[in-house]
Amino acid sequence: MIEFRNVSLTYPNGHQGLKNINLSINDGEFVVIVGLSGAGKSTLIRSINQMVKPTAGELLIGGENTLKYSDRKLRQFRRNIGMIFQNYNLVKRSSVLRNVLAGRLGHTGTLRSILSLFSQADVRLALESLERVGIADKAYQRADQLSGGQQQRVSIARALTQQPKLILADEPVASLDPPTSHAVMKDLKRINQEDNITMIVNLHAIDLSMQYADRIIGLRNGEVVFDGPAASVSEKTFEDIYGRPIKEDDLVGDVSNG
């Protein structure tokens, strides 16, 4: 369970990214965070693994306040959290397999890993992760030879290889076309259901949020303005969160069921 207790985050330039957040997220939930760009979605997600560090409050995971962790403890904590980015963030010149194995870095000794001496169990795990997202055949290709959707699957496989308890996804489909967006969201949903991994996903598109989320959290100006089950959400809710009428851009379009 993840608990935010009065968490605030002020950037060095004085901008307040998060204002007094109180949330609790249960294990195995599929949570989608929505809001306009600049509303603090990314800050919220990144504060969980402290890619940005909250400046006030407590962030409890499994009952421990993670904000008090030492550097060493923080690294051990991070290796149990997978993270997926809008721009995939793969090492383009390395092979797909090597990119996926990067998910095992936190579990592998420094010397072993720089000599590329990953255990066979790790290599199998990496290939299984690739199989689960359907691109095991690309294992030895260079990452930059893959399409955008395939690259995002590689980054999902990288996160899976960490064998995480939690996956954070920061706008995972913002750079993808509608059919690929649905496919990637389905992968995430499937992983969430099969492995009971908690998913916290930032999304911009309203229809994707409603279709895949268990629970939707709405942010505006760094504050939680909505929190409820996805079933209870309507377009009106989004208009309240966004503070403006819904536009064409806010929808991806429903291609998958067509």
Partner 1 sequence: MDKQKRIPIIPLKQKLFTVGVLVVVLSLYAAASIFTGSSPARFMNGIPEMFNFIINDLIPPNWSYYERVFPALLETWNIALLSTSLAVVFSLPISFLAAGNINKKLWLYHPVRFALNVLRTIPDMILAVMFVAIVGLGALAGVYALFFFSLGILIKLISETVEAIDPGPLEAIRATGGNILQIIWFGALPQILPQYVSYSLYVLEINVRASLVLGFVGAGGIGLILKQQMSLFNYGNIAMIIFITFIGVTIIDTLSTSLRKRLV
Partner 2 sequence: MKPSLDIRTIKNPKRMKYWWTFVGITIFMTLLYYVAFTQTNLSTRNSIWDAGPLLKRFFWDPFFMPEIHDKIPTYIHAMLETVAIAYAGTLIGAVLAIPVGFLAAANIGGHFSFIGKGILNAVRAFPEILFAIIFVASVGMGPYAGVLAIGINSIGMLGKLYAEVIESIDMEIIHTLKATGASKIQIWVFGVIPQVIPEFCSYALYRYEIDVRSSTVLGIVGAGGVGAPLILAANSRKWEEVGMMLVVIILTVTIIDLISTNIRKRIV
For partner 1, the closer CB: 133 or 252: 133
Of partner 2, partner 1, none, which one does residue 132 interact with (CB within 5 to 8 Å by kind)?
none
Instruction: Supply 72's token pair.
Output: 């060493």
Q: Which of 39, 44, 102, 205 binds partner 2 (CB under 8 A)?
A: 102
For partner 1, the closer CB: 144 or 254: 144
| 99 and 139 Cβ atoms separated by less than 8 Å | no
Q: Which of 1, 56, 91, 255 binds partner 2 (CB under 8 A)?
A: 91
Q: Which of 41, 138, 158, 220 binds partner 2 (CB under 8 A)?
A: 158
Q: Which of 41, 79, 138, 215 binds partner 2 (CB under 8 A)?
A: 79
93 binds partner 2 (CB under 8 A): yes
Angle at 128 between CA 127 and CA 134, to 5 degrees: 90
For 4, the enclosing helix (H) or strand (E) is strand 2-10
**Shortest distance, CB of residue 116 to partner 1, whole angstroms?**
6
For 188, the enclosing helix (H) or strand (E) is helix 178-195
Strands 81-84 and 166-169: parallel
Which residue, among 45, 47, 48, has the nearest Cα to 61 in the 3D structure? Answer: 48
Question: What is the CA 86 to chain-centroid distance, rounded?
Answer: 9
Contacts to partner 2 by CB under 8 A: 49, 51, 75-83, 85, 87, 89-94, 98, 102-103, 105-106, 108, 110, 113-114, 158, 162
